A and B are shown apart, each in its own frame.
Chain A
């Protein structure tokens, strides 16, 4: 599996002009490419389609271009090529209008160390020329409460723990009602309770109608909260679509543990299973529509001593690893 279709109308008319703004997409890009001055290709020909209302998991190993993509989408980095839209508005022209409706946590929290949590949020609120100063106090208080930092509002940021810093970053994204939240590794540095709270918060935000674009390398996190996902590897999107599509893309395999693997391979191949082959102490094949119980009966009838029989349905993790490689090395 290489390219899974994204949800419905999302990928229609790939050749359409960049100016229009595709309906139903909170984030969209065509051919988005970033080559850094050193010549390093960070992101290559990225076609992103994040449906409105989805919780989109943006997956990929470290160094695969996730953060560079997020920075380009939000106008912090100028792409070398390509066009993109945020909430239907062509960028970067629409930035000053549309970014107000976007809450962002980019590459971890960043605040003034000698200011308190409250003062840091007040500064960001003051920077928003359209924010109503009369509701500033209420909104800051509410954002801090929402991430559980109400009690630490006056404490200096430099004295915050890693988890508190991450929470303050989330609070900054929640200063205004948002239509889109771009969260880069939001559970980094959080303890298990904090991780659960953030997951609940993401579900809550999605329940209120916001689109959440969640960059992560934690597959379980993505599987638990996301409706859609895209997988990056070495600057390229290697798979994207709804979570069901991504799972379905890799077909279920049958694994037979036996002392007669060659016989098992022959039986499976005759049944119509694809790619039947010997592997370790047994045989494996793609079921390809063959019912597992039929395969089991046929194997036994043919005299294959079956010690174990497993249907392996690939998880997101298998998809991920098959696409991004097992290696531990950072991709250049």
Chain B
């Protein structure tokens, strides 16, 4: 037991910032950094990212080894890969969008609060103290960072594999125009960002689900189920009235970024849908979490 410990009754002792205001800025990001480290160092999450990175490699290898598929078969853009390797990025994004990407987002967002509640670490954080609203904001930011990392991993792994296995050059857009490779790379990045943003709504739904339970698997399963239900409903023409309100309805609109000029209508609607889902479900999450009894 050390004898050099500071006196406990003197509050502004060595551990305290001399002027709290002056230190608020440099320390405000510490919790976020800690949260990012928690998400990106967790082995389960790294496995998720690795699986996502593997998908373009699998698709690329399969296309390279087989006869080139014709248009209309398999995921969108798959027939173009043999002509230009960059299309592997896009094909992979199309392939992960319905299930693998929502799975990753569901796992990380569903775990955000419920995981800490399950471990009991939530109570330790709250009595530090951390304001509940701030904790939610930090948690959501980290989930968004994971969404972004996931799509970038897919796009990057697709580009690298595509460049390694197939010829690369000027890209012919869906509208027929041909653009230089550099511009095509920028558009691929924009597409990846759009897909990342498309996950923001689902991530907010997952965070809300995560505040409802102390069982992280429950929140994850509920979120993934909702993502599938949304896509199933979107495929049923008889309920077309509700299609525009589904968070997955505009997920595939990123194809518009491959036209010249870019038709922005659906893309903007897609972003707007995500913003509405984020606002609604973060508000619900906050309303639920702010008054929740933490008894785990």
Contacts and interface: CB of A to CB of B under 8 A. Distances in A.
Interface of A: 68, 71, 74-78, 95-96, 99-102, 104, 106-108, 110-115, 122-133, 135, 138-139, 142, 145-146, 172, 174-179, 197, 200-201, 204-205, 208-210
Given A104-B127, A176-B16, 20 more contacts: A77-B293, A77-B295, A101-B11, A102-B127, A106-B124, A110-B119, A110-B121, A112-B121, A114-B43, A124-B125, A126-B34, A131-B16, A132-B16, A132-B17, A133-B26, A175-B15, A177-B16, A178-B8, A201-B1, A210-B9
Contacts of B125: 124, 127
B-side interface size class:
35 or more
Contact of A111 (B1, B23, B121): B121
Contacts of A145: 2
28 contacts: A71-B123, A76-B126, A76-B295, A77-B295, A78-B291, A78-B293, A111-B121, A123-B34, A124-B128, A126-B33, A127-B31, A129-B31, A129-B130, A130-B27, A131-B17, A132-B23, A133-B30, A139-B14, A145-B2, A174-B5, A177-B9, A177-B15, A177-B16, A204-B1, A208-B5, A209-B8, A209-B9, A210-B8
Contacts of B66: none
A201 B125 CA distance: 24
B38 interface: yes
A127 B294 contact: no
A131 B28 CA distance: 10
Nearest to B132: A75
A138 B6 CA distance: 12
Interface in B1-41: 1-2, 4-11, 13-17, 20, 23-24, 26-28, 30-31, 33-34, 38
A130 B129 CA distance: 10
Q: Of A76, A96, A102, A142, which is in contact with the most chain B CB atoms at under 10 Å from its CB?
A: A76
Interface of B: 1-2, 4-11, 13-17, 20, 23-24, 26-28, 30-31, 33-34, 38, 42-43, 119-121, 123-131, 291, 293-295
Contacts of A107: 120, 123
B27 A129 contact: yes
B38 A128 contact: no
Contact of A172 (B20, B124, B130): B124
A69 to B, nearest CB: 12
Contacts of A146: 1-2, 5
Contacts of B27: 129-133
A179 B2 contact: no
B294 A208 contact: no
B38 A123 contact: yes
A178 B16 CA distance: 11
Residue among B11, B15, B17 with the most chain A CB within 10 A? B15
Given A99-B129, A112-B38, A130-B23, A142 B119 contact: no
A163 to B, nearest CB: 16
A160 B15 CA distance: 27
A114 B17 CA distance: 30
B127 A106 contact: yes
A172 B125 CA distance: 11
A111 B119 contact: yes
B42 A139 contact: no
A175 B7 CA distance: 13
